[in-house]
Chain A
Amino acid sequence: MPGPDLLSSQGLRLDGRRPNELRRIRCKLGVFTQPDGSAYLEQGNTKVLAAVYGPHQASKSKSTTEGVVVNCQYSMATFSTGERKNRPRGDRKSQEMSLHLRQALTAAIKTELYPRSQIDIYVEVLQADGGAYCAGVNAASLALIDAGIPLRAYACACSASMAWRNGEPEPLLDVGHVEEAAGGVVLTVASLPNTGSIALLEMSHRLHMDYFKVVLSRAMQGCRDIEIILDKAVRDHLAEGWTKQDVVTI
């Protein structure tokens, strides 16, 4: 069986989590003043910054009357992985990630509200320890909220993998780099947990249909858990930023 080592016989993972537990998530909104919205998010050792500019006037070539143009850029810092590596912006992987980010976030943004506008979302991975895409989506989601851009709901992303415990399949939530590297399948889901809809689904290897459901539902559960965490962060941020006068002016 592949990856019997991912779960100990006591049901703990390599880093001490149980299969259904997320890594520790810490996040902060409004870390920059320059962009309209920004957020920093740590998911375990994966650390991501997101910045949002807009909505602003779209350039003529991109401009559409149907809705806002969402422009995403995903990049990884040279120091983000164990080995320092120069990553030219727009390499294949980043481009793919940018497209995926865009797909997930466009689903959340109420694009129809802002015709002829554009929103730029920049996601920079400061440290990659597995699930950088998920962290990117979650951070971007926070940055969008920080920018006051109307969203249908939080866009949350979470990954899940498969392991076996005593011969029984047991999906693992929020896969870290070690587990990713162990070669198992990694299913990445970006969803709007509030509505239950899935914005993006990506799988690294082949997984048999029999197991797909359990893995997916575990990943969805992860998205819901993340939403709770993000929501709390947003409320804390609001409480911090709200002054009495605002209430008075209303």
Chain B
Amino acid sequence: MWTTKTFLTKTKRGNILKIVREHYLRDDLLCGSSACNICPHKDEEYVLDSKPDSVCALFDYPHYLLLDTNVVLHQIDVLEEDALKNVIMLQTVLEEVKHQNTAIFQRILEVINNKKRKFYSFVNEHHKDTYVERNPGEKQNDRNDRAIRKAASWYALHLSVNNVAGQFPQIVLLTDDENNRKIAQEEGIVCCSVKDYIENVNGFVGLIDKLSKNVIPETCSKDALYPAHFTPTQIHTGIRNGKLYQGTFHASRDNFLEGTVSVNRFEKPILLQGHIGINRAVDGDLVAIEVFPEEEWRKPSDIVLEDKADDPGDLLEEESALLSSAKPLDSSKDEITPTGKVVGIIRRKWRQYCGILMPSKFPGATRHLFTPAEKRIPRVRIETRQSDVLASQRILVALDSWPRNSRYPLGHFVRALGPIGDKDAENEVILLEHDVPHARFSEAVLACLPPNDWTIPEEEIKKRVDLRSICICSVDPPGCTDIDDALHARPIDGVTADGLKKYEVGVHIADVTYFVRPNTALDKEAASRSTTVYLVDRRIDMVPDLLSSNLCSLRGGEERLAFSCVWEIDENANVLSTKFHKSVIKSAAAMTYEEAQITIDNSSRKDEIARSLRTLNALAKKLKQKRLDNGALLLASPEIRFQVDSETHDPVEVQAKKIMDTNSMVEEFMLLANVSVAEKLAEEFPQCALLRRHPSPPPANFTTFLKATRQQGFEIDVSTNKSFSKSLDEAVLPGRPFFNTMLRIMATRCMQQAVYFSSGTLSHPDYYHYGLACPIYTHFTSPIRRYADVIVHRLLAACIGEDVTHASLLDTKQADSICDNLNYRHRQAQYAGRASVALNTHILFKNRIEIESAVVLSVKRNALQVLIPKYGLEGPLYLPSDKFTYNEEEHYQICSDVTLKTFDELTVRLTLDSTNLQHRKLVFQLVKPHVPGFSYVPEDSGMEVESVASAEEVKETPIKKRKETKQSKPKKKSKNQ
């Protein structure tokens, strides 16, 4: 069964430690070829064809391809195409790939798992005939190359046994390593470079475009624009002796020549500036940096800088503007940040990027520049022959390398997503950019669903508490189809010891876990999606529609399974007792917030629903007051709703969301339910309860905010959430009703993100939820759209003995990894939602120009960040430096008698700049306060043209649309006007 030879692999590390590991060599490993007469294959174990068709003109006989590591690492996109089949993947190669780039490793695994591709992974490292031992003094790389060659010659020999000459497939070794190729040829192995092979492949258009550009070694200094990166060993020793630091590079959104790296040693992130400072790091990369001596430290520039529109060739420029502005002009120490430069890349975190092609000016050229949709990613140079087709498309591009002599990283085209401006293509971009899984549900997932006409089985009703007779209703936003919560309240007999009236209040949550059983395909898919993503015109469901909008949705008048949390509450909203049980409910009414509000306010209505709602409302108000007294923060974020045209799905109007009493009523009880569940879970599962915490923000986050509020004459106390909440409440300007909301919006931005975590990973005090001011919190109330709630449901069901536990549920480590995914997806979903809002705002403004009041959010060196409360829109209002002077210390801009500072209210004019299709952006122009020669004057068009032209940064304004006044309703035009 197994060979008894033992080989010892020795590794040294750190303070010289000899590690001896066993390495079993086997004789039962199959070669996977149908042409083989030796291996005892079973039918399903044949992967490679006995007579593979050759697609390459260079090798017109049947052959198998054997890939070298460098081929997989650099040409994964080519491999993902269907062109190459009958490929042998050696374990040596797979392990090297896994070691160097996990993302590519995952992708190659996908390819191997695709049965149609006929990729066979051969475990050469454990095969008794193909294992090679590292010779003394031999480098690991050389050994691996030798192992690959050994496997290649073994295959050739193995297939020739018992086969007529010429009747069996040959082996072709694909490698881009010249040295390896040379030795292989000497050993009589047929080999070829990928470029030669692919260029001679017939019948697969566009395959060549996917070919990754050849990598120029770091040592090559010809025409070098950038300093060379350190070698891994140099980096390693540098980090070890404390000269270098490692961290993840975050590019600035506003300034493409600036970025930061967070390093543990320093409180502030390390600033990196300029092409040289950033030295080819791309957002997300793990980099090694060197920190400059303190006297060279700078402060972050506050200008907004974008890469030039045209292709400047391989030159570096634009440094001066940035660097001069960034020189520390005064000694205000607190703004100076540690500064450094990137000296090496430890690991690239490149993914595929969406964007558009900027075709070269020369017709017929194959080298083009690609602009990614994500602003933090630099432009990419790609080669394609399909530029005329692709110019009008959204495309996906992969990065290959960034040699020293290229201004831009090199990449290659992956696929087209659709025409620019097309709604679907744009949505696709949003989803791809935010890594939202949005493919259709697979057959396996759909197979887990109950039939369409599913009704609650009798025995299930018997097992549950029957609440169908109780008057339960749901309150949701209009148009909501995935109703996951419903409420009820009724007085109960008896009084408390203090003589207060008692109520029974129930929150009923859709019982999704009844349908989504653990470890089914449905469950895995839901776990991977983690959350439903709401785009303006589209919802990407976490669970299939049948569940989300029908069987789980607690629709009015229909019997549904629910998970109930029922309290006894006294008149003063003190919880007397809590119980959880699974139940069957029949919602009496599914109302909107507005309907519910009307029902409450309409004193003529005395039916059960109205009474129930009034009780709930009264209790909710008391609950809220208690919460606020505890120090909960009332934060705000601009939320808007689009009214969408029913035919074109284009947005026709936008409005800020209305907040009513009933909103808060539902919210209070959901909070109460979540807290009750969290307490129960933490008690029962101290190691693996899924909870949600909100860390208190570090004081440094508030610096700018406090400065701005001080300018407005308010002193905000941020020491605790209670004092913060109190001082926010007091900061009211009588004449400006929006000011307080503004403050809260700004305060929200100083906060940390709330995150899911597993109770086993943190100590109890860290469970605290800062925003809600409660010691423990979780998500229980929206299992239809959040996977976290599904887990919480399962845990709670296990607590109360309604359901069995299963392994993954109780594993702290696994819970932790689920939390990581939840947090990631949750964040991405939020970003995607915002991106969708931005997209739709652009569409909305395509045909209109508006003049609106706005508020200054922050002041930058060359721009103001403004918010339009009506639309919740945010954007830069560029200020010309010849007219405005920037006060660095106090953050305001001055132009003669006009001072612009944070929280100031302005009037601005909004238009859409569509000249750059990639980054279509809203252009904000100042209307009031009036600055001569700059502000937009509605009556005088001629002057505006000039003023705009003079404003350098505001590149262009679509003036032709000016004639449409702001009152004009948007006309339904074809999208591509």
Contacts and interface: CB of A to CB of B under 8 A. Distances in A.
Interface of A: 1-2, 8-10, 12, 14-18, 21, 23-24, 44-45, 82-83, 129, 167, 176, 178, 183, 206-211
B519 to A, nearest CB: 8
Contacts of A209: 807
Given A24-B4, A83-B17, A16 B806 contact: no
Interface stretch (B23-31, B657-665, B829-837): B23-31
A208 B17 CA distance: 36
A210 B121 CA distance: 32
B475 interface: no
B24 A9 contact: no
Contact of B25 (A9, A16, A21): A16
A9 B112 contact: yes
Contact of A129 (B20, B23, B112, B121): B20
A161 B807 CA distance: 14
B807 A211 contact: yes
A16 B18 contact: no
B813 A45 contact: no
Contacts of A9: 109, 112-113, 121
B221 interface: no
Contact of B123 (A8, A15, A21, A45): A8
Contacts of A10: 91, 121, 123
B904 interface: no
A207 B808 CA distance: 9
Residue with the greatest number of chain A CB neighbours at <10 A, chosen from B17, B25, B807? B807
Contact of A8 (B1, B2, B20, B91): B91
B355 to A, nearest CB: 33
Given A8-B91, A21-B1, A183-B813, A45 B807 contact: no
A17 B811 CA distance: 27
B495 interface: no
A17 B806 contact: no
Contacts of A129: 20, 22
Contacts of A16: 22-26, 123, 125-126
A14 B19 CA distance: 14
16 contacts: A1-B808, A1-B814, A8-B123, A9-B109, A16-B24, A16-B126, A21-B1, A23-B22, A24-B4, A24-B22, A45-B21, A45-B22, A82-B17, A207-B807, A208-B805, A210-B806
Given A8-B123, A178-B21, 12 more contacts: A9-B112, A9-B113, A10-B91, A15-B23, A16-B25, A16-B123, A21-B1, A24-B2, A24-B4, A167-B524, A208-B805, A208-B809
B811 A15 contact: no
A14 B9 CA distance: 12
Contacts of B896: none
What does DSSP make chain A's interface, helix, strand, loop or mixed?
Answer: loop
Interface string B712-730: 0000000000000000000
A44 B22 contact: yes
A218 to B, nearest CB: 16
A206 B123 contact: no
Contacts of A2: 811, 813-814
Nearest to A23: B22
A49 B883 CA distance: 89
B444 to A, nearest CB: 12
Nearest to B15: A83
Contacts of A15: 21-24
A24 B814 CA distance: 33
B121 A206 contact: no
Contact of B22 (A83, A176, A210): A176
B123 A12 contact: yes
Contacts of B24: 15-17, 24
Contacts of A167: 524
A208 B807 contact: yes
A152 to B, nearest CB: 29
B898 interface: no
B810 interface: yes
A98 to B, nearest CB: 27
Contacts of B123: 8, 10, 12, 16
A151 B122 CA distance: 47
Contacts of B806: 208, 210
B22 A82 contact: no
B442 interface: no
B976 interface: no
Interface of B: 1-2, 4, 6, 17-26, 91, 109, 112-113, 121, 123, 125-126, 524, 805-811, 813-814, 817
B328 to A, nearest CB: 49
Residue with the greatest number of chain A CB neighbours at <10 A, chosen from B22, B806, B810, B817? B22
A118 B643 CA distance: 89
Contact of A24 (B6, B20, B109, B805): B6
User: Considering the complex of A and B, which 8 residue pairs feature the smallest CB-CB distances, nearest first?
Assistant: A208-B807, A16-B126, A16-B24, A15-B22, A44-B22, A82-B17, A10-B123, A2-B813
Nearest to B28: A18
B810 A206 contact: yes
Contacts of A206: 810-811
Nearest to A3: B813
A174 to B, nearest CB: 11
A21 B2 CA distance: 8
Residue with the greatest number of chain B CB neighbours at <10 A, chosen from A10, A12, A17, A210? A10
Nearest to A210: B807
A9 B91 CA distance: 10
A208 B518 CA distance: 14
A183 B24 CA distance: 22
Contacts of B126: 12, 16
A209 B6 CA distance: 36
A16 to B, nearest CB: 4
Nearest to A14: B21
A162 B512 CA distance: 30
Contacts of A83: 17
Contacts of A82: 17-19
Nearest to A211: B807
Contacts of B125: 16
A64 to B, nearest CB: 43
A24 B22 CA distance: 10
A45 B814 CA distance: 31
A9 B119 CA distance: 13
Nearest to A44: B22
Contacts of A210: 806-807
A208 B18 contact: no
A228 to B, nearest CB: 12
B618 to A, nearest CB: 46
A225 to B, nearest CB: 10
A173 to B, nearest CB: 12
Nearest to B112: A9
A18 B1 CA distance: 10
A24 B18 CA distance: 21
Contacts of A12: 123, 126
Contacts of A44: 6, 22
A1 B821 CA distance: 12
A208 B519 CA distance: 14
Contacts of B112: 9
A220 B805 CA distance: 26
Contacts of A211: 807
A55 B6 CA distance: 38
A11 to B, nearest CB: 9
Contacts of A208: 805-811
A45 B810 contact: no
Contacts of A14: 21
B121 A17 contact: no
A2 B810 CA distance: 12
Nearest to A15: B22
A140 B61 CA distance: 62
B387 to A, nearest CB: 39
B91 A45 contact: no
A194 B808 CA distance: 35
Contacts of A178: 21
